[in-house]
Amino acid sequence: MALTNIQIQEIETVLKNSLRHKFLNYNPEPAIMPFHTRLLGRDRLALFSFIHSLNTNFGTSIFEPVAIALAKNRFAQAQSQFVSGNQISESAQRVIQTIMDNLAAGLARPCKDSEIEAIRKVCRQGEMHTVKPTRVDVMLQNHNGDIFFFDIKSAKPNKGEFMGFKRTLLEWVGVTLAQNPQAQIHTMIAIPYNPYEPKPYSRWTMAGLLDLKEELKVAAEFWDFLGGENAYQDLLDCFERVGLELRSEIDDYFRRFQYL
C-alpha cells in the first residue's frame, strides 16, 4: 500500500466534506424538460444535473486537495492554486510565440527540453512585461529543488484546446525563469483518469503540440508520481469506501426530488 493511514483518512475526509457541502448548497437548475421528466423521473434528472455540476468543479474541490494530500509526504513543498509569477521578458514572449507558430504549422516537433533551454537563454533579455498567467493547479518542489507545475484537465479535452494548454505550459516556464534563470522547471498537463480503460489513453489529439513524455501524465502516471507506487489504486479504494459509507445520504438527497 502506497498511502499511509493518515493520508487515507485525510483523503476520505476531503471527499466526504466535498459531497456534503454540495448537498447543502446545490439546487438543480429550474429547467423545464417535460418530456424527459415524464419519461425518466425528476429524481433521475436531478441526479444527472448534480453529476454535471460536480464534474465542473471536481478539479478544484476534489482532485487538487487530494493531490496535495498525496504529495506532501514525498515532496518538500506542495501547494494548489499557485501563482507562478507575473513578469516575463519580451524576448521570452517572442521565443514562445515562435515555438507555438512552428508547432501549429508542423515545422517542428515538440521537445520540452529544447523549448525550456531556448526560453532560459532569453529569460531576462529585453523589457520585462507584467502578465497574469493561469494559476498552477498543483505546484510541487522536490528535495533537490526541482519544480513541477501541473494543470489538471478533464479526461477528454477538445483537440482545439491544446494550443492554449501548450502556451500556458510555456508561459509558466517563462515567468519562473524570469525569477530564477537556473530553476529546474517541469510543466505538465495531468489527466486524472483514463476514460478508455482497459485500452491505452488516446493521445493522438495531443501529438504535434505536447511532448508526450515530458508534458503529460495520465491516471496512474499522475497519481503514482505524487504518492508513490500503487497510489492510484489506493486512491480508487478511498473513493469506493466513501461512496459506500455515504450511500444512504446520497439516496436520501435524491429521493426528495421524486415528489416535486
Distances 259 to 8, 46, 47 between C-alpha atoms, Å: 38, 12, 14
Cβ atoms of 200 and 191 closer than 8 Å: no
- At residue 239, the pLDDT reads 95
* pLDDT per residue rounded down to tens, the chain (260 residues): 678 999 999 999 999 998 898 888 876 665 677 887 778 777 777 777 777 777 777 888 899 999 999 999 999 999 999 999 999 999 999 999 999 999 999 999 999 999 999 999 999 999 999 999 999 999 999 999 999 999 999 877 776 788 899 999 999 999 999 999 999 999 999 999 998 888 888 766 677 889 999 999 999 999 999 999 999 999 999 999 999 999 998 888 877 766 54
CATH architecture under which domain 76-227 falls: 3-Layer(aba) Sandwich (3.40)
Alpha carbons 192 and 58: distance in angstroms, whole number: 10
What's the sign of the alpha-carbon dihedral 55, 61, 65, 70? negative
What is the bridge-based pairing of β-strands 87-89 and 77-82?
unpaired
pLDDT tens for residues 6-18?
A: 999 999 999 999 8
Note the maximum CA span of the chain.
66
Q: What is the mean pLDDT of the chain?
A: 90
What is the bridge-based pairing of β-strands 185-191 and 147-152?
parallel
Domain range annotation of the chain: 1-74+229-260, 76-227
pLDDT tens for residues 105-162?
A: 999 999 999 999 999 999 999 999 999 999 999 999 999 999 999 999 987 777 678 8
56 phi, psi to nearest 5 deg: -70, -25
For residue 65, give the amino acid letter.
Answer: P
Alpha carbons 234 and 202: distance in angstroms, whole number: 24
